[in-house]
Amino acid sequence: MQKIAAILRLECPSFDDPTIARLEFDETVHRNAGLVVGETDTVRTILFMRAKSAAVCAVELRRQDKTSLSGPDRTSVLRSAISLGPVLIGEATVDGDAIEIAENLATILEPGDIFVSGSCRNALADNLPVDYEQLREKASAGFRLVVDDNEVLSAIRHENPVAPDWNWKIPLPVFSMLILIVAGWFWFNMPDSQGPSTPNIQSENQGVTR
């Protein structure tokens, strides 16, 4: 099955358990509706349905990388490349142009960089408060995001969540409506209630007369 999707390729010296926990990796990817489709000791490839989700996820991970490091010189070691294009989703694999473009962008990454492809930059236009630094002479070579992590994260808090938390906050109105429908059905289909029985005075009088 072929779809247009965003691919975030993350590179790190080591994606060991302490690093994944420090980055809050699983929680951040899930919150932004991402799906890990490839992993090695130093690389994670994540699929998103929207370029903005991929960019926000990259910014959140980079910010978490900086703030979780100790020492005065806290510099992110993550390298992020984002592309947008057709991907072929199989039962156990994901291939396509977007995967290859992200891999090519990753070859020129420096620690802390977030690079986006030309198509991804167009999709992000006016959606995030970021600037872009064009790489090389051709726009197709990609763009570096010049971004303040705190400014981006502050801006998206005023919008709908990228990946809603599907808990009781969403289905509660539907659940309440179902309860009202069921209660109304029982109300209108219950048999008429009969009041307390009263003696048949006429029959008793007839019996006395006889």
Judge whether residue 87 has pLDDT over 80: yes
Neighbours of 69 (CB within 10 A): 13
Q: Where are the alpha helices (DSSP H) in 80-157?
A: 97-106, 118-124, 149-156
- The count of residues in the chain is 210
Judge whether residue 80 has pLDDT over 90: yes
Hey, where are the domains in the chain? 2-156
- What is the mean pLDDT of the segment spanning 3-23? 93
Q: Where are the alpha helices (DSSP H) in 78-171?
A: 97-106, 118-124, 149-156
pLDDT computed for residue 29 by the predictor: 95
pLDDT computed for residue 141 by the predictor: 60
Closest CA to 110 of 68, 81, 69: 81
Judge whether residue 81 has pLDDT over 90: yes
Architecture per CATH, 2-156: 2-Layer Sandwich (3.30)
pTM exceeds 0.75 for this model: no
- What is the mean pLDDT of the segment spanning 43-66? 91
pLDDT computed for residue 159 by the predictor: 47
What share of the chain in percent tops pLDDT 70? Answer: 64
Question: Are 46 and 26 a contacting pair, CB within 8 Å?
Answer: no
The residue that leads in pLDDT, 177 or 12, is 12
pLDDT computed for residue 72 by the predictor: 57
- Indicate the pLDDT class of residue 147, thresholds 50, 70 and 90: low
- Which of 1-5, 47-51, 81-85, 157-161 is least confident? 157-161
SS3 3: strand
pLDDT computed for residue 163 by the predictor: 44
Judge whether residue 78 has pLDDT over 80: yes
- Indicate the pLDDT class of residue 139, thresholds 50, 70 and 90: very low
- Indicate the pLDDT class of residue 152, thresholds 50, 70 and 90: low
